[in-house]
A and B are shown apart, each in its own frame.
Chain A
Amino acid sequence: MARAVSTRRKVFFTVLAWTVGLLIFFPILWTILTSFKSEGEAIMTPPHFLFFDWTLEGYHEVQARSNYFLYMMNSVWLSFGSTLLGLLVAVPAAWAMAFSPTKRTRGILLWMLSTKMLPAVGVLIPIYLIFQKLGLLDTRLGLIVVLFLINLPIIVWMLYTYFKEIPGEILEAARMDGANLRKEILYVLTPMAVPGIASTVLLNIILAWNEAFWTLNLTTHDAAPLTVFIASYSSPEGLFWAKLSAASTLAIAPILVLGWFSQKQLVRGLTFGAVK
């Protein structure tokens, strides 16, 4: 299998790939660098790449706007809350479909997938009006429910593809060994499914964290997550790039790290198991 690759060829591809990689990564790198500049330095022409006065001014200012913490907490609440809710509903469903499939299972799975394709604008108005009636606009609960609903099909699908890989015979063996349904799930299924569940959780936190249609339309302040906070910088007046960069860096850093860990699972989750 492994063939000797000529060093020249390897050097060539290494240089090329690193160049392209850094180019693609550059906007993120630049944002991170800018977040350590002063506002004046941030809009310097020509720009300084590395040799500037590194400062935490931007971060202090973001911190000083005391409500930054609120947005951050909202993001955490929304992404963790909706994912947890999703797991509670999806684990039993995926379990049932993977281990006790019927003639309708396939149809139900595909139908769930199709709900994911319903464009949000198609239901924006009723949801907005219903939320208005129920007093759910700009509440964490309302947003958690919406994010839970839009990601539920993905959670079910991902769990389903992971559960499918656990051989049914093992669960039958547990049944023969005297485990009841509760013990079967507790001692056998769950430990075997933990990696799959973890990946599902990871992907859904990422998706919920970055969701920017419903959060922009259904929140203003109280329940607004970081997506909305960042969007508030879009007003044309004033150039607060260092501050913007600091806020952006804080907003994307945790998810970037999570995302890097979950690349493989991401492929599977986002393609509904069509590419593994």
Chain B
Amino acid sequence: MSGIQLRNVAKRFGDAEVIPGIDLDIQDGEFVVFVGPSGCGKSTLLRLIAGLEDVSGGTISIGGKDVTDAAPARRGLAMVFQSYALYPHMSVAANIGFPLKMAGQSKAAIDQKVKAAAATLNLTDYLARKPRELSGGQRQRVAIGRAIVREPEGFLFDEPLSNLDAALRVNMRLELSELHAQLKTTMIYVTHDQVEAMTMADKIVVLNRGRVEQVGSPLDLYNHPDNLFVAGFIGSPKMNFIKGAYAKEHGAATVGFRPEHTTLSKESGAIKGVAGVSEHLGSDTFVHVKLEDGTQVTARCAGEMAVRHGDTVWLTPEDGRLHRFDEKGLAMREAAPKLRAAGSGL
């Protein structure tokens, strides 16, 4: 019904090529997250879909209709902006009702729909207020209310949580997921925060320098990253990468293993290093280790781990959790050569 297809979509600003050409299929009802570092083109891509920017090449279709040249309002999409973009001179009710007013609906219909939206978003008591009299979280809800009230074919979110404090962000994340579960409408969500991507998405699109690095479900990306960039970007703390002799042993240019898939021992293991700072989170301890060639790696140990600064430690990646990458940084998927006996060191 209302899937979104991008075919070879490109964007140039003058001479600068922001997006060289992207193909992407978004299924109806999917929650898709565009994630990537700042400047990777994720917001531009969202604005191209919204129609706030013209494409320099390629086509966009929504629900099977080519909307490449259609005005934003004709695309049937609603957008929640990073700054919320509430109309400061209108009350909350007028803000939420604005798209309906633009669509020429009757006062009574608008009133009823606004009330319904306000009820779902816990805004009923604030309908008469102006945006400046609301807290950050409430403003966020108004922006969402304005988006859902017109029952769009898809929602676009442009880093909607980045202006909220950490605790509120976690709450809103849940609320948005809940909203998606209720509405079952296509949502495209842009963020630079891979935790938001992992927790909310059905499908993650990892972008880097205008290119799609990988598309897949959160666990897909976590377990089978296609390349070094995705491997390093998804997961926290970051995946450890080791080059040199240890990588060669595994027939790769670089090997990677996640901190949580690393065993740390004071006696023996695959890789030798010196313990640096330990971060105690209670449930876990992150031990930062400096290897002999200077590489910094992290091990995540369950519970409390008593390692002192300067201790010599050994790390061992968990079996089957080792990621191998070739010279170009691409993942090597074929079976790894058989491991030699552990403890060979570097």
Q: List residues of A whose CB falls within 8 A of some B CB.
A: 167, 169-170, 172-180, 183, 187-188, 191-192
Contacts and interface: CB of A to CB of B under 8 A. Distances in A.
Given A172-B81, A173-B79, A173-B81, A178 B99 contact: yes
Contacts of B102: 174, 177-179, 183
A175 B88 contact: no
Nearest to B97: A177
A179 B73 contact: yes
Contacts of A176: 50, 52, 72-73, 77-79
Nearest to A180: B73
A191 B89 contact: yes
Given A177-B150, A192-B88, 17 more contacts: A167-B83, A167-B85, A170-B85, A172-B79, A173-B79, A173-B85, A175-B52, A176-B79, A177-B78, A177-B98, A177-B146, A178-B73, A178-B99, A178-B150, A179-B73, A180-B73, A187-B98
Interface in B44-79: 50-52, 71-73, 77-79
Contacts of B335: none
Interface string B148-167: 00100000000000000000
B87 A178 contact: no
A4 B182 CA distance: 58
Contact of B103 (A173, A178, A191): A178
B82 interface: yes
A183 B72 CA distance: 14
A192 B73 contact: no
A188 B87 contact: yes
A192 B99 contact: no
A192 B51 CA distance: 24
Contacts of A183: 102
A129 to B, nearest CB: 46
Contacts of A177: 73, 78, 98-99, 102, 146, 150
26 contacts: A169-B82, A169-B83, A172-B72, A172-B79, A173-B85, A174-B87, A174-B98, A175-B71, A175-B73, A176-B50, A176-B73, A176-B77, A177-B98, A177-B102, A177-B150, A178-B73, A178-B99, A178-B102, A178-B103, A179-B102, A180-B71, A183-B102, A187-B98, A191-B87, A192-B88, A192-B89
Residue with the greatest number of chain B CB neighbours at <10 A, chosen from A170, A178, A191: A178
A188 B71 CA distance: 18
Nearest to A169: B85
Contacts of B87: 170, 173-174, 188, 191-192
A176 B152 CA distance: 11
B185 to A, nearest CB: 15
Contacts of A175: 51-52, 71-73
Q: How large is the interface on B (under 10, 10 to 19, 20 to 34, 35 or more residues)?
A: 20 to 34
A185 B71 CA distance: 16
Interface in B201-216: none
B73 A169 contact: no
A217 B339 CA distance: 98
A183 B73 CA distance: 12
A172 B52 contact: yes
A223 B298 CA distance: 84
Nearest to A188: B87
Interface string B259-271: 0000000000000
Contacts of A180: 71, 73
Nearest to B72: A175
A176 B52 CA distance: 8
Interface in B100-121: 102-103
A114 to B, nearest CB: 27
A172 B81 CA distance: 9
B322 to A, nearest CB: 45
Nearest to A191: B89
Interface in B268-293: none
Contacts of B77: 176
A195 to B, nearest CB: 10
A169 B72 contact: no
A144 B83 CA distance: 43
A179 to B, nearest CB: 5
A193 to B, nearest CB: 10
A66 B61 CA distance: 73
Contacts of B98: 174, 177, 179, 187
A174 B52 CA distance: 11
Contacts of A172: 50, 52, 72, 79, 81, 85
A177 B79 CA distance: 8
Contacts of B82: 169
Nearest to B89: A191
B176 to A, nearest CB: 18
B85 to A, nearest CB: 4
Interface string B80-94: 011101111100000
Contacts of B86: 170, 173
A170 B88 CA distance: 9
Contacts of A174: 87, 98, 102
B81 A169 contact: yes
Nearest to A181: B71
A183 B87 CA distance: 14
A254 to B, nearest CB: 29
Nearest to B73: A178
Nearest to B158: A169
A107 B20 CA distance: 31
A80 to B, nearest CB: 26
